[in-house]
Amino acid sequence: MADLPLIEADPEIAQCIADEEKRQHDKLRLIPSENYASRAVMEACGSVLNNKYSEGYAGRRYYEGQQNIDTVERLAIERLKSLFGVDHANVQPYSGSPANLAIYLAFCNAGDTIMGMGLPSGGHLTHGWKVSISGKYFNAIQYGVHRDDHLIDFDQVASLAREHKPKLIFCGATAYPRVIDFPKFAEIAKEVGAILVADIAHIAGLVAGGAHPSPVGHAPVISSTTHKTFRGPRGGMLLCDDAHKKAIDRAVFPGLQGGPHNGTTAGIAIAAKLASTNEFKAYAHAIVDNCRVLAETLLSRGLDLVTGGTDNHLILIDLTRKEVPGKVAAQALDRAGIVANYNSVPFDTRKPFDPSGVRLGTAAITSRGMGSDEMKRLGNWMADVIEDVENEAAMSRIAGEVKDLCDQFPAPGIPVH
Ligand SMILES: *Cc1c(COP(=O)(O)O)cnc(C)c1O
């Protein structure tokens, strides 16, 4: 039984995977946290590395048989150090959320004061939002954006930091379409004696490719996922300077986790190697160029965008002035073959489960090699759908056109159907 191919061992799951391959091929995937992992990364994740237990760190493991795993983990670490220009990398966090939890464990005690951007402004749950452990076990102070231009309110960040003296300040976001000003955050953190943490989960690929300023030299601790714009496996990483290295490593293991996922570690090593190429630099810049063209097209069709546009891979459409809520728009777009997600906008007048915004990004479609012509077509399709969310005939016509476009741009790592 253990030696049967998937199609025989479990035809039901095999079918789900085949259907998902087809969906990922046939649709324009705009969820900004998603991408197509490179083929080599996918191979590593499905390899025998899955079978090995490796608690500890290279050269200091609690299990024998690490001849190959130590090499894999050292390669991942060395490549990330040189790619980002940092003193140290930990590649063991299971994903972005556990990476952030490890940071709390490394530098805080329960009840300590921490600061992060509020979820309604575009911050992540793990930056102190009340329903998350980060908001429950810590005294979490949340900053936000200006009401008028939706840019981060640095006067508020500074005054809250002076008043509450947090141990940690998180910067970085999950739904913020503009550049994060790391030097400005660093100045505030320094003034109040807080450790600045830059969470670059969304933008790690842009930072690696030089399409977003790097937090290195401003934030001594950096956390990230490895599967968003970085285009690696589902995973997490922590980058830091020498001064914070010991605390970070101890927090990840034995503080928070057991054995690392070695296939993922290999995937991170591969992603780091690929991200150091000129081709990846061009990819990172193309993500941003595409996003700007898409934003301009949407604006020209009369849609409002949070902050009025974008500097990165992400756009947040604000439908407050339109008749249609975000969820209805996202569902209509999905029927037209365009997959985005509904999202709150800053100062949203609607509830989080039925908000006013649609969030989208260009990382995955840029991985397929699409460019500005395709972005213009896409923007017009989206506007057509949003203007007429009950027109099922138009949606199925657009879904057909989307499929034809997708056939011209095969997705990395997916066999053509
Ligand atoms: C996606 C994200 C995370 C969490 O990553 P998971 O892998 O989903 O746990 C953390 N921080 C930010 C800013 C993110 O966007």
pLDDT in tens, 293-329: 999 999 999 999 999 999 999 999 999 999 899 999 9
**Residue 416 half-sphere exposure, CB side, CA atoms within 13 Å?**
7
Closest atom of ligand 1 relative to the 234 alpha carbon = 7
Domains of the chain: 43-275 (3.40.640.10), 287-408 (3.90.1150.10)
- Residue to mutate, 225, 237, 312, 359, ligand 1, most ligand atoms under 8 Å from C-beta: 225
Instruction: Tell me the whole-structure pTM to 2 decimals.
Output: 0.97
Can you read off the two tokens belonging to residue 44?
């590593």
For residue 387, pLDDT beyond 80: yes
Q: What's the average model confidence in pLDDT over 14-27? A: 97
**99 CA from centroid of ligand 1 (Å):** 9
Return all residues near 139 (Cβ < 8 A) that are at least 6 apart. 111, 112, 113, 114, 164
Specify the pLDDT at position 352: 82
* Burial tier of 112 (Cβ tally within 10 Å: 0-12, 13-18, 19+): middle
- Residue to mutate, 31, 91, 97, 100, ligand 1, most ligand atoms under 8 Å from C-beta: 97
For residue 1, pLDDT beyond 90: no
Closest residue (by CA) to atom 6 of ligand 1?
A: 96
Q: Are 139 and 169 in contact (CB under 8 A)?
A: no
Q: How many residues does the chain have?
A: 417
For residue 261, pLDDT beyond 60: yes
Closest atom of ligand 1 relative to the 98 alpha carbon = 9
**415 cis-preceded (ω within 30 degrees of 0):** no
Q: Are 197 and 244 in contact (CB under 8 A)?
A: no
Specify the pLDDT at position 415: 78
**96 CA from centroid of ligand 1 (Å):** 4
- Residue to mutate, 35, 132, 168, 174, ligand 1, most ligand atoms under 8 Å from C-beta: 174
* pLDDT band per the 50, 70, 90 thresholds, residue 413: confident
Q: What's the average model confidence in pLDDT over 380-390? A: 97
316 vs 68, 146, 201, 262, CA distance in Å?
44, 16, 17, 36
How far is it, in rounded angstroms, from Cα 56 to Cα 155? 43
Rounded to the nearest integer, the mean pLDDT of the chain is 97
How far is it, in rounded angstroms, from Cα 226 to Cα 208? 11
Return all residues near 128 (Cβ < 8 A) that are at least 6 apart. 114, 115, 116, 118, 134, 135, 138, 140, 141, 142, 170
Ligand 1 first shell, C-beta below 6 A: 33, 95-97, 100, 124, 126, 172-174, 199, 201-202, 225
**210 CA from centroid of ligand 1 (Å):** 21
Closest atom of ligand 1 relative to the 96 alpha carbon = 5
For residue 194, pLDDT beyond 80: yes
**147 CA from centroid of ligand 1 (Å):** 25
Closest atom of ligand 1 relative to the 173 alpha carbon = 13
For residue 278, pLDDT beyond 70: yes
Specify the pLDDT at position 211: 98
Q: What's the average model confidence in pLDDT over 37-57? A: 96
**124 CA from centroid of ligand 1 (Å):** 7
Closest residue (by CA) to atom 3 of ligand 1?
A: 96
Q: What residues are labeled active site?
A: 53, 55, 199, 225, 228, 234
- Residue to mutate, 103, 124, 129, 133, ligand 1, most ligand atoms under 8 Å from C-beta: 124
The DSSP code for 2 is T
Q: What's the average model confidence in pLDDT over 55-78? A: 97
Specify the pLDDT at position 180: 98
Closest atom of ligand 1 relative to the 235 alpha carbon = 7
Closest residue (by CA) to atom 10 of ligand 1?
A: 96
SS3 for 57-99, per residue? ECCEECCCCCHHHHHHHHHHHHHHHHHHCCCEEECCCCCHHHH
SS3 255: helix
**184 CA from centroid of ligand 1 (Å):** 23
Q: What's the average model confidence in pLDDT over 41-66? A: 96
Specify the pLDDT at position 417: 57
* pLDDT band per the 50, 70, 90 thresholds, residue 353: confident
Q: Give the whole-number percent of the chain exceeding pLDDT 90.
A: 97
Q: Are 56 and 253 in contact (CB under 8 A)?
A: yes
SS3 312: coil
**117 CA from centroid of ligand 1 (Å):** 13
